[in-house]
Amino acid sequence: MYVALGLVLLCFVVLAVWTTWFRQRLDAPPMMPGLLPIIGHAHALIGDRKHYWKFIQNINATSFERGGAIEFWMVYMRYYILTDPDDCLTLSNTCFNKPYVYDFAKDFLNNGFVTADASIWKAHRKLLNPSFNQQVIYTFIDEINLQARNLVLSLKNELGRKPFDVRPYFISFTVSTAIRSSLGLEAEDQKNVDRKYCETIDDLFALYCDRTQKVWLHIDWVFNLSEMKRKQDKLTNSLKNIICPIIQKRKAEIMTKIETSSFENKSGKFEPILDQMLQMANEQNGFTDEIIREHLDTFIAASYDTTSSSMVFTMLAIASYPEIQNRIYNEIQEVLPNKDDDFSKQDLQKLVYLEAVIKESLRLYSIIPVVARKVEVDVKLKNYTLRANSTCIIGLYALHRHPLWGPDVNEFKPERWLDPSRLPTNPNLFAPFSIGKRNCIGKTFGMLMMKIALAHIVRQYHISGSIHNIECEFDIILKPVSGHQIGLKLRS
């Protein structure tokens, strides 16, 4: 009897604490429907990664309906999601630290731009900005052309066959390009690194996603006792063991002033990002070897997943609209009619319609549908106040489908990018590389890779396929899982 009374009393205490803790202020965003005692909205996460993507779409849509912001809870953690463009910018430029879920990758990326604490991010971003400016990025054009030619050549294996999944080909292209431009390896060494890196990083990203969906594994001591933790350590160490020896070898070459031809090719010359960082380490004491490794891994890992998936969606969009594909091909023919020529900086600047197609694909199929920030102080928005000690999710997917884009917001219309009057006046509504000061440092490089690769493919092949029946899942980024196969025919 006393046990029963104790349990009843405990339930009352828990409910009282829960009710007080979950109480909203008058200036708080509206609560998302479906709140349950103790667990909040955590039940909405139960399911596979396809379900996870539907949950993200749902909270974006609910935020739209409730005035651009909502509040929801995961167990004892308060979350907000913002879909108003001005509020998103205010939050992103007020709060620079990332919430604890980003710490899942700390053992691997630590001080890299995605996971670094704000103070470290600011200092390193200032040092590395010159290495990612447009003038420096243009020095990689010849190398990207070379890798794009290799991609086109490998795609010949699919001619005359049934529709296929093009993503593995794009992964190989993006990883090869990122590793070559960041590390400057010889061709044979690069192939070995590409293969090992792709196999390992895919498993590690899948593990991060699994942990995110299993709320009980968010607790560090529980995760540290799990088999998943042991698997993560093994994968993380494997990736470190790929990059660390390369850094040490190149560092020794520079220290002993050995001149090598590792960073030269028939197409041109460039200075790998590794060399640039080692130079900063010598001249400015800017980076340790471990920090250099973390930045290189961040750059390669981000390119691997985001750029390859973006290219899949863009390729499918091109295949789905014959008139768009023909217009891209005609533009390429006007700019560079000889199929054996590489694209120069001047040529790429003239491919304005292809760039419009890529931007429209990035808008409509947001590879990074959400980013998050740790709210460490109360943040005053236009209509609401976000409370400190909470987490805020910025709905990039929602910004790209905001009603301010016009009545054709859900239609694939590259022409909108050719006429400024058809674009929304608020620039914050287009944020495929995140929003605010802590955006992606590699956005120019990513756009250049996509533009060169797609130009090479379209001028060689006619693409068939449909994006209309595509099914996606959320696995760190948005990925197609079915209905995304394409076919290729050689152009005459």
Residue 487: beta bridge partners?
464
pLDDT tens digits, residue range 424-449?
Answer: 999 999 999 999 999 999 999 999 99
pLDDT average, residue stretch 26-46: 84
pLDDT of residue 279: 84
Confidence category of residue 139, pLDDT binned at 50, 70, 90 = very high
pLDDT average, residue stretch 457-477: 91
pLDDT at position 410 over 50: yes
pLDDT tens digits, residue range 150-174?
Answer: 999 999 999 988 999 999 999 989 9
pLDDT at position 214 over 70: yes
pLDDT of residue 257: 64
pLDDT of residue 268: 47
pLDDT of residue 22: 53
Q: Taking a C-beta distance cutoff of 8 angstroms, is the pair 185, 242 a contact?
A: no
Place of tokens 């290219």: 311
pLDDT of residue 5: 58
Q: Is 244 annotated as a binding residue?
A: no
pLDDT tens digits, residue range 93-116?
Answer: 999 999 999 999 999 999 999 999
pLDDT at position 4 over 70: no
pLDDT at position 24 over 80: no
> For the purposes of burial, counting CB atoms within 10 Å of the CB of 6, is it exposed (0-12), middle (13-18) or buried (19 or more)?
exposed
More confident residue, 211 or 270: 211
**Average pLDDT of the chain?**
88
pLDDT tens digits, residue range 56-70?
Answer: 888 888 888 888 999
The DSSP element (H or E) to which 472 belongs, if any, is strand 471-475
pLDDT at position 286 over 80: no
pLDDT average, residue stretch 86-96: 96
Confidence category of residue 118, pLDDT binned at 50, 70, 90 = very high
Considering only the C-alpha atoms of the chain, give the largest distance between any 2 of them, rounded to a whole number of Å: 89
Residue 329 sits in a domain whose CATH number is 1.10.630.10
pLDDT tens digits, residue range 338-378?
Answer: 888 999 999 999 999 999 999 999 999 999 999 999 999 99
> For the purposes of burial, counting CB atoms within 10 Å of the CB of 385, is it exposed (0-12), middle (13-18) or buried (19 or more)?
middle
> For the purposes of burial, counting CB atoms within 10 Å of the CB of 94, is it exposed (0-12), middle (13-18) or buried (19 or more)?
middle
Q: What is the residue range of 125's domain?
A: 2-490
pLDDT > 90 in the chain, percent: 58
Residue 67: beta bridge partners?
none
Place of tokens 């030269």: 264
Domain count, the chain: 1
